Amino acid sequence: MELFRNLRIKAGRSILAGKISKVNRRPYYTNFRSVKSMGLVWDASRPEEFMLLSRFHQKMSEHNIEFRILGLFPGKVLPNQFTAVRYLTCLRKNEIDFFYRPDSKDATVFIEKQFDVLIDINFQKLFPLVYITTLSRARFKVGLADAEPEKSPFDLMLSINKPVNIENYLEQIILYLDMINSESSKKAV
């Protein structure tokens, strides 16, 4: 059964590679003060992490940043804490196709939205979330450093010891985003 699953994921990766070659995306980021929208891709298999993400949402709201989370939940029925939350959408098993690609309108809308920043919290490298992050039209993507950085979809990669503490990870991302100040923003001042 595991072999069949791996073959399906391999086919999904092949389809993704074909789509990547057609994507024309240029990373763009000036500084944290100019961020108006932020997306977050999350492995929602551990619902207890949602409180941390909720607090992060509150912090971003204080900065007037539109904030959206797209999670991947492994079950068919969402926990109560995930329902009726306007900034959270969760994909479930029935919204993943045969090749483990997201197959929902919510995923398509999330991919097409040009977030100023996209943060990846997919530490297990679940393929449906890798697919979303890779094809996302976000202007600037942030995630964990890989063994093969040249194949990474991220524009900014953080190297953090495992196991990764999500709260620390998000703090580090904001710290680095705040430190970045591109030449174009300096000239505009």
pLDDT in tens, 86-123: 999 999 989 999 999 999 999 999 999 999 999 999 99
The torsion of the CA quartet 8, 10, 149, 177, rounded to 10 degrees, works out to -20
Q: For residue 120, is it within any domain? A: yes
Domain count, the chain: 1
Q: For residue 188, is it within any domain? A: no
Q: For residue 171, is it within any domain? A: yes
Reduced to 3 states (helix: H, G, I; strand: E, B; else coil), residue 31 is coil
Q: Which of 135, 116, 129 is nearest to 144 (CA)?
A: 129
pLDDT in tens, 63-82: 999 999 999 999 888 888 88
CA 113 to CA 108: how far, in whole Å? Answer: 9
pLDDT in tens, 35-59: 999 999 999 999 899 999 999 999 9
Strand order in the sheet with 117-121: 88-91, 66-72, 37-43, 117-121, 141-144, 156-158
User: Which CATH number is 143's domain given?
Assistant: 3.40.50
Q: For residue 159, is it within any domain? A: yes
pLDDT in tens, 160-178: 888 889 999 999 999 999 9
